[in-house]
Structure formats: C-alpha cells, structure tokens
Structure 1
Amino acid sequence: MDCPAAASTTALLEVQRVRLRRGATQVFDGLDLRLDGERIGLIGHNGAGKTSLLRLLCGLDAPEAGQVLSQGQDLHTLPPGGPRARRVGMMFQNPDDQILFPTVEEELALGLQPRGAPKRETLAQARAFLAARGLQDWAPRAVGALSQGQRQQVCWLALLIAGPRTLLLDEPYASLDLPGQARLADEIGACAQQVLVSTHVLEHVRHYPRVLWLEQGRVQADGPGREVCAAYEAAVAAEVAARRKEA
C-alpha cells in the first residue's frame, strides 16, 4: 500500500539532539540523524541502541530532550492512533510482543481500523490481502498454532496492510529459516515504503545504499552498506582476536 512521498527538502524522519536514558544507562546523549533514504540498515552489538532508536522513531518512547520529527513535524505531537500510525509503524523482534488478536485475519484487520472502516469491511480486506499472496487458508487460523517464523510473517503482513509511510523492522530475520529470510528480503526490496532494518544478519543490508553502525548510542559509521558492514566485521574480528590473546 503506497503512501505519498515527502517533499525532497524534508526528511521522512529526523532525530535532533535527542537524549534518552533507561534507568542508570544513558542510551543517547545528543543524537542527530536525518533518515531520508528508502532503505536504511541498522547494525551494531546488542545494547548499542538499535531497538531504542526504532522505538523513538515510531513514538513508543519519548526523548527526555530533543525532538523526533516526521516530515518536519514533532512525532509526539501527533495522536498515537491514525495520524501517527499512517506515518510510522514498527515490527517487533518478538512477534508475541506485537500480536493482539487470536486469528490471523483479525490481527491484519487491526491495522485497518485507524481508517474508520467497519469491522466486517476490514476483515474482508484482510482476507483479500491474504488471498492475493496465496495465503487465503491462513485467514481463520489461530495465531497461537503458528510457528515462531509464521507469527513473524503475520507481523510483517499486518504492518504491510496498515500501510505506514515508514516501516521499522527490529531483527526481522531472527525467527526465520533461510527460505523465509529470502522471501522477506524480496518483499522488503519490492516494498514502496521507506524501510529501516535493524539486524545482525549483515547479508540482508550489505547491498543497501545506507547503513548506520551504532556503538554505545553513537553513530560509529554511516555510509554505503558494503563499506559499513565490512568495517563492523573488521572491528568484531579485532575484538575476538584481542579476547583470544588475553585468554
């Protein structure tokens, strides 16, 4: 589902001087980012701030200082329902943290509710959406009976049918087998929206025109995917070699 692109002079998403603290940990301290590419990868160690950044970008977390802008507008001034949901949506790493309804068709229909359509109509649209992908048999299935990878696919489909302008994916490949990873990568490649992918599976973002490497809440590198992924891999190899030398 396509959404109109933002004007070229305005970033789809922008982080300005953001500070964020979790307990005793200062996650970000003056972070600045302009996110206006159609495909952006996000890499780095666990705890580097990747998930925290995605949560800021979709409005789940609010910064203690600074701003998160969506097409020039402070994201946190937008109501969390329709207006914000049409701009940014997030797929969680754990599908059980995202799925709310007992059947697949009901979960997909949830993403259409901010548009104000009646429940019967949203369910019909969800069934048609699944049928167009050869998944019509999934519509009445109980989500609890699906595998972890299948539930992850339901989350992806729910995000697609909701149709926000920007899709934020937190470790979307973690629960998928190789065919599932390939299928999702193809669907991301064909998607009309802006997509930000946080992942440890570097092969899926290596070809992206832009990848951000976060290190302890700071941007360690920002550039073409092949260059940034290679630099990160070299740094990890150096860390491993240093630990072996110390052992």
Structure 2
Amino acid sequence: MGVTLDIENVSLTLDGRAILRGVTLRGDEARIGIVGRNGSGKSTLARVIAGLQSVDTGRVRIGGIDVARDRRGAIRTVGILFQNPDHQIIFPTVDEEIAFGLRQLGQSKTEAAEGVRAILARFGKAHWAGAAIHPLSQGQKQLVCLMSILAMRPALIVLDEPLSGLDIPTRMQLMRYLDRAEAQLIHISHDPELLAGYDRALWITDGQIAEDGVPDRVLPAFTAEMQRLGGMDDIADLAG
C-alpha cells in the first residue's frame, strides 16, 4: 500500500464551466488508474492532486499533507509527469533539470550534484551528464522528467497522459521504468489498455466519478460507453 490519498468534495469552475463537481476519493492502493474522455476533467484533477491548481471547494491531502496549503510538504510528497515534457522542462541541460527539484528540497549544490549522478547511474544514463536537452527525442525528454521526479523520492507520482504521442517501443520502455518505481502511482489516461492490471480504476465523466472499482469491471464499462458514443451519427456529442 502507498500513502493515503484523501480527496474531499473537490469542485472547481473555470471560465464559467464546472470542471470538477464534488469529487471525493480516498485510497492507498499502489496503482490507481483514472480513465476518461478528453475534456472530462481528469487532467485538471491531476493538477489538483499535485497541488498545482487551487479549487473552489474541498481539499486534497496526501499522507495527511494539505497539498494546496503546504507547498513545501507537497513538493516532498507528490510529483507529476505531464503529457508534453516540453511543458515541464525549464533548464537547458539534463543536470540542471534534475538538480532543480533537489535544490527545491533544500539540498546544497554539492548534495544535488551527487543526487544527479546517482539517478543518472541508476538509469544507465551517466553519459547524459552535462548533455543538452533540446536534441533529445520526446521519449528521452520524458525520461529526463521522470528521473527528475524520482530523484526527489516522492511518495506519490501523478501521471497525466505521459505516454501519449510516443511510439510503441518507447512507451513500453517508459512503462517498465514506471512499473519499477517505488512510489505510489496515479495514472490518468484516455486509453483503458494502459490501466489494465492496476489495483483500482476510476472513470471520470463531466467532472464526476462515474465508476470506481476493480479495473476488470470499470474499464470494460468505460470502453463499452465509448464504443456506443462512437457509433452515433451525431458528431456534436463527440465534442468533449
């Protein structure tokens, strides 16, 4: 089991649109999958869990830490891996990118440098030391983001569609890295196949939890509904 994730009655409206509607979730499973259509609110929920998005009502606690109110505690407890690494990476070299998070934890330059060397060695990427990030492939950039998170040793990692847009071999390689992660994972995706075998699955629709339970029940129900919608002639219903 991982740390306890406690989401209590979270609601959020942005630009006059209700994005999340009274979402409540409590769990400590090691692998939790959250599935939903584009526009269902799942990516916003990912940011809320990571403490990056404030809410109108409710609160999120991870291991007892209120991620919205205790930013230092949140940084130590939860990391997030976004869909596009270019939206996450802020430094020009691999070393600087990984060291940034360690410095946020209060480590000295010397301590952070040692942490960088350790995580690169752990992933067999010692030759990336000092390397520029811009020539790396999308999958390699995503790996830099993952190493940056794992170097901080968070208890929980939120995955917000980080495998979208990657080719099959790269996706498989990153999944192996993620499967070996000691942290609890909350994996958000529109692809139910990526969440098969998880401990728990939730289906988000219109900012609410439609189904919550074992993946063998929740994921087929989601797939059946998506196939039903896909078989309709009115494309207006597919705008979400």
1:211–1:224 CA contact under 8 A, matched in 2? yes
> Which position in structure 2 is the counterpart of 1:140?
130
The C-alpha deviation readout for 1:83-115, integer Å capped at 9, x for no partner, is 211111111111111111110111111121133
The C-alpha deviation readout for 1:141-195, integer Å capped at 9, x for no partner, is 1111111221111111111111111100110111322222112222222221110
1:44–1:200 CA contact under 8 A, matched in 2? yes
Amino acid at match of 2:10: V
1:179 aligns with 2:169: yes
> Which position in structure 1 is the counterpart of 2:41?
49
> Which position in structure 1 is the counterpart of 2:30?
38
1:243 match: secondary structure: coil
Aligned residues: 236
Amino acid at match of 1:67: R
Structure 1: which 5+ residue stretches go unaligned?
7-11
Amino acid at match of 2:53: D
2:233 match: secondary structure: helix
1:120 match: secondary structure: helix
User: RMSD value over aligned CA atoms?
Assistant: 2.0
1:228 to 218, 230, 233: 218
> Which position in structure 2 is the counterpart of 1:191?
181
Deviation at 1:68, TM superposition (A): 1.3
1:123 aligns with 2:113: yes
1:155 aligns with 2:145: yes
Deviation at 1:32, TM superposition (A): 1.0
1:63 aligns with 2:55: yes
How many angstroms apart in 2 are the aligned matches of 1:86 and 1:17?
24
Amino acid at match of 2:74: R
How many angstroms apart in 1 are the aligned matches of 2:107 and 2:150?
17
Cα 1:115–1:72, aligned 2, differ >3 Å: closer, same or farther? Answer: closer
How many angstroms apart in 2 are the aligned matches of 1:52 and 1:64?
13
How many angstroms apart in 1 are the aligned matches of 2:115 and 2:152?
11
How many angstroms apart in 1 are the aligned matches of 2:175 and 2:131?
25
Deviation at 1:245, TM superposition (A): 11
Deviation at 1:198, TM superposition (A): 0.8
Amino acid at match of 1:128: A
Amino acid at match of 1:221: E
2:99 to 102, 109, 112: 109
TM-score (norm 1): 0.89
1:106–1:123 CA contact under 8 A, matched in 2? no
2:61 match: secondary structure: strand
How many angstroms apart in 2 are the aligned matches of 1:61 and 1:245?
31
> Which position in structure 2 is the counterpart of 1:240?
230
How many angstroms apart in 1 are the aligned matches of 2:195 and 2:175?
9
Amino acid at match of 1:28: L
How many angstroms apart in 2 are the aligned matches of 1:94 and 1:41?
19
Determine what percentage of the aligned residue pairs are the same residue: 36
1:173–1:201 CA contact under 8 A, matched in 2? no
